Amino acid sequence: MTTVADRLTQLIHREGPITFDRFMEEALYGDGGFFASGHGAGRAGRDFVTSPETGPLFGRCVARALDRLWRALDEPDPFLVVEAGAGAGRLAREVLRAEPDCRAALRYVLVERSAALRAAQREHLALEPVDEALGPFVRRADEERAVPAPAAGPVFTSLEEMPAVAASGAVVLANELLDNLPFGIAQWDGERWFEVRIAARGGGGFQEVLVPLDGEFGPVDAPGSRVPIPRALAEWWRECEGVVHEGFVVVVDYATSLSSLTDRPWLRTYRGHARGSDPLEDPGAQDITGDVVLEQLDAASPFPRLRADRQADWLSALGIDELVEDGRRTWDAGAAEGGLDALAGRSRASEAAALTDPTGLGAHQVVLFGVGGAGRGFTW
């Protein structure tokens, strides 16, 4: 059986040392790669926990956020929501369970590259055929073409790639996706920039080599400083531009500024709910991830940034404290019987603590972009 490492070695022998983003693409998304094999977010048997895996509370808050964006767009019907990097569908399921006000208009598209994770989505959601995502359709007397029927939602469907449809009144949501988009690595030697490339090592394995690189990549002074080269980020934004004619793009991720890259280990690996090993070791068996650089995010986006909030502040604006208090009341009322609703209510406090932890998930950035003039002056 050909492994990820075997294919990478063959590729390097054919083409010479490859960029880190090509290595990362194969290690994460190639045949047998980390996500292609069904690894990723979750609890038992998974590799790391993202906000949706803490429990249903994050999904309830996202449902409230979608309602506010829907209203800011004058309540379009259909209301297209594209979740990029949807994984096994946990967030989408909790949004549906929260019964948002926009649900009758909602057409929710889960975009996930991994066939294994797309298959897992069916354990959480009833998925419709792709051509029903904006349907059912009706033909009006004054229209030559069929148009989506009103109040036909919610409709959920799944795709491998961003949908080939452009919509007004749409939202693209990316929760902890951009940190996994493949990126190159630039290194400063004190006088000029080099790109880190990956070569095959004699006897097996991989090693870095440096190749001169033209361009400026950050305000760094210390020799050996490294910054990501976000080639895939630009392509992702082009895909968003093809989907949303008017609406919003919401990015939730761990992010930093260019000036802070030298102060923290921005390139990391995860495996089995623990930090992994060197990114070049055992490709396909561990997650490879990097901080999203806010300046690079803004530079790549064709849309203006409307606001950026810490996740803890964003959730507070969406009423997470109110939801926790509701949960406490539910627990107090039903503790003697110990029903599922009471137990779920009691768990909200611990979920909220995890979601707003300033040293963990609460420090994530929630960055909102407006498309086609949408959302000027918007507040959560």
- Residue of 219, 351, 357 lying closest to 296 (CA atoms): 219
Rounded-to-integer distance, Cα 5 and Cα 295, Å: 33
Whole-angstrom distance between the N-terminal and C-terminal Cα of the chain? 51
Strands (E) located in 214-364: 226-229, 244-253, 255-256, 267-271, 274-275, 287-290, 292-293, 305-310
- Is the model more confident about 175 or about 48? 175
Please check the confidence at residue 363 and state whether its pLDDT lies above 50: yes
Residue 309: pLDDT band (50, 70, 90) is: very high
Please check the confidence at residue 267 and state whether its pLDDT lies above 60: yes
- Is the model more confident about 262 or about 74? 74
* DSSP per-residue codes, 178-194: GGGS--EEEEE-SSSEE
The CA distances from residue 224 to 183, 192, 217, 278, in Å, are: 18, 11, 13, 17
Please check the confidence at residue 133 and state whether its pLDDT lies above 70: no
Please check the confidence at residue 232 and state whether its pLDDT lies above 80: yes
- Residue of 38, 156, 45 lying closest to 91 (CA atoms): 156
Query: Angle 312-299-371 (CA atoms, 0-180°, nearest 5)?
Result: 70
- Considering the entire predicted model, what is its pTM? 0.90
- Is the model more confident about 263 or about 332? 263
* pLDDT tens string 367-378: 999 998 888 889
How many CA atoms does the CB half-sphere of 68 hold within 13 Å? 16
* DSSP per-residue codes, 91-150: HHHHHHHT--GGGGGEEEEEE-S-HHHHHHHTTT--PPPGGGTT--EE--TT-SS-EEPT
- Is the model more confident about 342 or about 27? 27
Residue 138: pLDDT band (50, 70, 90) is: very low
Mean pLDDT, rounded, for 87-106:
97
Mean pLDDT, rounded, for 210-233:
90
Mean pLDDT, rounded, for 21-31:
95
Q: What is the mean pLDDT of the chain?
A: 89
Rounded-to-integer distance, Cα 33 and Cα 132, Å: 31
* pLDDT tens string 187-205: 999 999 999 999 999 888 9
* pLDDT tens string 330-345: 665 655 455 555 556 5
Dihedral of CA atoms 48, 51, 55, 58 in degrees, nearest 10, equals -170
Rounded-to-integer distance, Cα 173 and Cα 110, Å: 10
Helix, strand, or coil here: 69?
Answer: helix
* pLDDT tens string 149-192: 787 889 999 999 999 888 889 999 999 999 999 999 999 999 99
Reading the block at residue 372, the tokens are: 């086609």
Contacts of 299 (CB under 8 A, 6+ apart): none
- How does DSSP classify residue 160? S
Percent of the chain with pLDDT strictly greater than 90: 71
Query: Angle 111-93-66 (CA atoms, 0-180°, nearest 5)?
Result: 75
Please check the confidence at residue 77 and state whether its pLDDT lies above 70: yes
Mean pLDDT, rounded, for 310-336:
83
Considering 35-44, 126-135, 201-210, the range whose residues carry the highest mean pLDDT is: 201-210
